[in-house]
Structure 1
């Protein structure tokens, strides 16, 4: 066996032996953590230099299957070459961060060049439809004063690591896993691995053993928060809502300001305004999940049809009690457009004996059903076989408040001592708002009995 190969095998054996010696101590730490209901420490897995077809695909499957969050520091050139894969990383629920455009050591660049390579990568990521964080990692971890200034100019936060897998240097998958597990410590751990280098398939194959071993010792896995520490971002959550017609559906949309790197949730409920929850709109009061990888969810809200002609009504959609989120715009208003036809208004038929003295006769007009709107009508008498000598020509305006259904026109029938047959005149709706005109009212003046 060549000398270099023997040395490599010896290093791997030593690493494995150290991991085995460390395991009993870590098991006791894990047991204590479990008893206290907490974690031994937090682990943020990070992967550099991708996306790369093959290793990145396999890695996404492994992480999703084990429900492990992670952060991917992507190279702009590789994003441009593999846009589908970059989108897949975000849509499967993982965070994306910036690893420069061409993986050039930043200590060899000017302040302006550092800022531009980060901005170019950010543009590339957004151009393919992802929503990168403001986190960045310098290639090779190399930083100096100019590089730090360029990073600030680009508005980004540098993130290094404290657990180096050295997956690029050598070792089998088992040895890489043992190396990572051996270097974990209670507290916060940021693990560096690669999904875009020659040895990435070997490093990716180490991930199941890392997850299994770390969980056995009581560690919890997280992503990286806004400051680049193990944790999760806390996006703002807001709600909006569309209008709807009666009998249709409004759509409430719950939107996050940026990816959270995990599944989050918020409580949603419908709230009465001029439209009443329960009668006009369905009652909703439940927690809604926003799965990892999604920036919004849509929720249909059924709007009921009540058969009443009504003005525009409103209800509210309110969000509260966020988990993993902070509240932004927490109330949205939705309007309900009425689809019911205006009710018919019909006149009644009245019979009045020919009076010996002037007599007031009421003629009633009735809506076929109550209206939710104010109904305005104008009633007027018209001659028939009876003319202006038989009754007082009358015109009057009426306002029916919402829910009222009748208007009564008082018409004076004149005294008449002339013997003549039955006579009649009409009462008609000559103007109507928020009502449809039905049949006219008729007043029949009957001749006195002999």
Structure 2
């Protein structure tokens, strides 16, 4: 009887664990059996107390990792969220301090925007960024010279989700569906439709055997996480 009870108890525990995993939305369900390529999911303009936790929860629940291009002013204001990004397995990049049009700034101003963000992110526990995304994707020789000074790789994007322009959930998912191996998509942490699209993004990538990877500081392309 004792052996039978133990077996019944074990079976019940397994059943409960399985049910709990299903209810929690286990990320493995959205993952491909094998990664035939990697794409770079990127989210600009964080961190914040209002949006970052929701985005990180959605990404974690669906087994996705991403690069968070943080503004220095927000990293300084919300350091706990920078640490939360790292704890959730995300990578943190530099997106300038105040999001200006850098091509209209002097070299000293560009240097201040980039260097202060490097410091703010490092001070918040996000490490020293190796990737830089210029606001609006605007760049020139001055911006690139300052990037090089700080050992940063400039990252633009291959696909624009248009979430900043009011894109629907369907449109954001469709944009992600256009990604191919090595490519990078632009998204933002603040549109509600972007967070709502995360589960379907995970399913779309899995159906193509694509995995969410890191962005290589050497090549600027999405690669397998190291």
> TM (normalized to structure 1)?
0.41
Matched, 1:78 2:69: no
Deviates more, 1:151-160 or 1:98-107: 151-160
Matched, 1:52 2:48: yes
Deviation track 1:184-224 (CA, whole Å, cap 9, x = no partner) reads: 23x3110110014xxx2221211211111111122122121
Matched, 1:155 2:147: no
Stretches of structure 2 that go unaligned for 5 or more consecutive residues are 1-31
2:179 corresponds, among 184, 192, 196, to 184
Query: 4+ residue stretches of structure 1 with deviation over 3 A?
Result: none
Matched, 1:219 2:213: no
Contact 1:174-1:209 within 8 A present in 2 as well: no
> TM (normalized to structure 2)?
0.80
Matched, 1:205 2:196: yes
2:223 corresponds, among 211, 227, 231, to 231
- More helix as a share of residues: 2
Higher relative CO (Cα under 8 Å, sequence separation at least 6) belongs to 2
- More strand as a share of residues: 1
In structure 2, the partner of 1:134 is 130
Deviation track 1:62-102 (CA, whole Å, cap 9, x = no partner) reads: 11122211110000111111111111111121111100000
1:166-185 mapped onto 2 (5 Å cutoff): 166-181=162-177, 183-185=178-180
Aligned-partner Cα distance in 1 for 2:128–2:195: 22
Report how many aligned residue pairs link the two structures: 194
Contact 1:110-1:147 within 8 A present in 2 as well: no
- Give how far 1:38 is off: 5.2
RMSD: 1.9
Q: SS of the residue aligned with 1:48? A: strand
Q: SS of the residue aligned with 1:103? A: coil
Larger Rg belongs to: 1
Aligned-partner Cα distance in 1 for 2:217–2:145: 19
